[in-house]
Structure 1
Amino acid sequence: MILSTFIARVADGLPLVASMQEDEQIGRSLSEYQKQAKLLFSKMNQSSPPKLSIATEPYIFHYIIQDGVCFLALCEKSFKMNLAFQYLEDIQQEFASKYGRRVATVSRPYPFIEFDTYLSKAKKTYVDSRQRRHLTGIKSELHDVQRIMVQNIDDVMQRGIAISDLDEKASNLVYNSEKYKRDAKNLNLRSRNAKIAAVTSIVVTFLIYLRFWWFI
């Protein structure tokens, strides 16, 4: 289930749209998650990862950044990640077509609050079980979510990690993994060459032994 949607300008964190759905099953007030969303926006910049998931127990934030605007959704963890990102891409395209040229010129918070009408309709489409099955069958193959990094909200908030740093850490992790694979491959190659050299040496020694011992 998609609980809330937030849209903000990345350059300064200015909130453009917010759509929240109160739910009796939510342990904490949604206003707390709204505060977390604002803090996340304040830590973003042009170097932030274009896609990211951030766990905030018992829910999870998913976001995409496109054309200097961040589209962020608070979802239940059971809600499929590929559908969450499809939802974000759908609302991004609609938002860009309506307000894309005006984003850089606005100065007051929530100037496009009327976009909430579209968000409400879009959320219903993705939450409805029949519509969701239809979307899964048609669009799930279009979205590779396996490489999207999932970060814990505490790491971002309490430790003061800028979101732009997460992309660098993920890149370093991939680089170190590839380096380990290369080192392991080289080690195996050297080990195999050493074994071949040892066997060759034994064979040559044996042939020399036969030559000089049996044919004297």
Structure 2
Amino acid sequence: MSSIIYALVVRDPDIVLSEYSRAQGNFPQITRNILSKLPRSGKFSYTYNEKYCYHYISEENIVFICLSDAEFPRRICFLFLDDIKSNFMKRYGQVVNTVIAFGVNAEFAEVLKTRMIYFNTDPNADKLQTIRSSVDQVKNIMIENIDKVLARGEKVELLVKKSEVMSEQAITMKKRAIQVRRKMWFQNIKLYLVCGCVFLFLLLLLMMSVCSPDFSEC
């Protein structure tokens, strides 16, 4: 697994203030040999032997260097260098020009080790990947919310259609109810008329039986 292997802090021209290596090898000697070839301003990467890559930040007369496997992401290496630079200058910025060789190594080598482990193993160290993950998460949430809105829109549309159908059915039922009421009213009128006629006919028969057919006896 690729990783950051070695790191050191140097004050020009070649005074090593602190270093840490997580693997056995001649990395310190090789680094000291190429120090004089490195530019002394800005951020650079330097491929060595096709298998490894040096990355360094040079600021004023202090150089922060790390060695990594060639395939290890460069952006993480520079995040590591920015981190140790910030830590180092916060601790020793006031006295950095007077510190003797390895004068702060006993303390700062542990910082190099701790931060190296962090940037080698913790996914959160890759800020770009973290941002991408956050963007993907936000995008997924937005897509999910859009799907929900669309689903709600479909449901609302269905409800509107159902409401329209129910409204039409209600109007139809109302018309039918009016028609039924009118029909029942006419039927009741007819019934009342028939009953009235029957009653008058019976009354006439009764009067004729009492008063004679020509009503001469009444």
TM-score normalised by L of structure 1: 0.54
Deviation for aligned residue 1:121? 1.3
Counterpart position of 1:74? 67
State the aligned residue count. 128
Residue 35 in 1 paired to residue 15 in 2?
Answer: no
Pairwise mapping of residues 190-209 of structure 1 onto structure 2 (< 5 A)?
Answer: none
Deviation for aligned residue 1:16? 0.5
Name the SS of the counterpart of 2:94 in structure 1.
helix
Deviation for aligned residue 1:134? 5.3
Name the SS of the counterpart of 2:14 in structure 1.
coil
| Sequence identity (%) | 23
Counterpart position of 1:110? 102
Q: Report which structure shows greater RCO (CA 8 Å, sep ≥6).
A: 1
Unaligned runs of 5+ in 1: 23-28, 140-216
Name the SS of the counterpart of 2:18 in structure 1.
strand
For residue 54 of structure 1, the aligned residue among 13, 21, 46 is: 46
Deviation for aligned residue 1:130? 2.8
Name the SS of the counterpart of 1:101 in structure 2.
coil
Q: Which has the larger radius of gyration?
A: 2
C-alpha spacing 1:135/1:14, structure 2 compared with 1 (3 Å): same
Distance 1:138 1:89 in 2: 18
Counterpart position of 2:7? 5
Q: Select the structure that is richer in helix.
A: 2
Decide whether the 8 Å contact of 1:66 with 1:92 is kept in 2. no
Deviation for aligned residue 1:135? 5.8
Unaligned runs of 5+ in 2: 133-218
Q: RMSD value over aligned CA atoms?
A: 2.0
Equivalent residue letter for 1:110: F
